[in-house]
Amino acid sequence: MGLLDKVKETAQKGADLAKEGVKAGQDKIDETKLKKKIGDLKEELGGVVYAQKSGTTATGVDAEVDIARIVAEINAAEAELAEGASDNDAGEGEAAAS
């Protein structure tokens, strides 16, 4: 049974490595999506500020409220991005220790 146990162990290690690879890929996709969201929000913020400064803000729209909302969304997305980066650093440290 020793050979069969070794085969099972090797197969399990291969499955674990595949799962780690999939998770790393998904993490990279999530990071890219967050970076795009941050870029889009900054572009929206620029439009709101430009409209405010040029006096072309739509009637009934409070630019300060829009600015505060967008800045809060950017801060939240950047915090999530930083949290993901620190989680990845911790995971790499655990993998190196193995």
Which has the minimum average pLDDT: 4-8, 35-39, 85-89? 85-89
Provide the domain limits for residue 83. 2-97
- For 14-64, the pLDDT digits (tens) are 888 888 888 888 889 999 999 999 999 999 999 999 999 998 888 888 999
Rounded to whole angstroms, the Cα distance separating 37 from 40 reads 5
Q: Give the per-residue pLDDT at 59.
A: 82
Structure pTM? Answer: 0.69
76-85 — which CB contacts under 8 Å span 24+ positions?
Answer: 77/34, 77/37, 77/38, 77/41, 78/38, 80/34, 81/31, 81/34, 81/35, 81/38, 84/27, 84/30, 84/31, 84/34, 85/31
| Number of domains present in the structure of the chain | 1
Q: For residue 67, which phi and psi values (nearest 5 degrees)?
A: -60, -45
pLDDT: which is higher, 32 or 97: 32
